[in-house]
Amino acid sequence: MSFQAYLDNIQKQTGLSPTEFMTKAEEKGFLQNGQLTATVKATEITNWLKADFDLGHGHAMAMYAYFKGKRD
């Protein structure tokens, strides 16, 4: 599955775009000014996405990659 397919599936499942997830991650303190907070770990973000949005591990990791700057 391509990276974009992961993002499309996440949006279909949750109704939230990657940009909206970035806003939510900023609200949680995982991002500041669109950048990952230095002390945040991938596990913290994936656990949050799994618990609050019912994402699987692969989809949660795709969002983490998006937060890190992967866009294509």
Q: Which residue range forms the structural domain that includes residue 26? A: 3-68
Q: What is the mean pLDDT of residues 8-30?
A: 96
Residue 12: band (very low, low, confident or very high) from pLDDT cuts 50, 70, 90: very high
Residue 71: band (very low, low, confident or very high) from pLDDT cuts 50, 70, 90: confident
Overall number of domains in the chain: 1
Euclidean distance between CA atoms 67 and 18, whole angstroms: 9
The amino acid sitting at 60 is: A
pLDDT tens by residue, 26-35: 999 999 998 9
Euclidean distance between CA atoms 54 and 50, whole angstroms: 5
Q: What is the mean pLDDT of residues 19-31?
A: 96
Helix axes 18-28, 3-14, angle to 10 degrees: 70
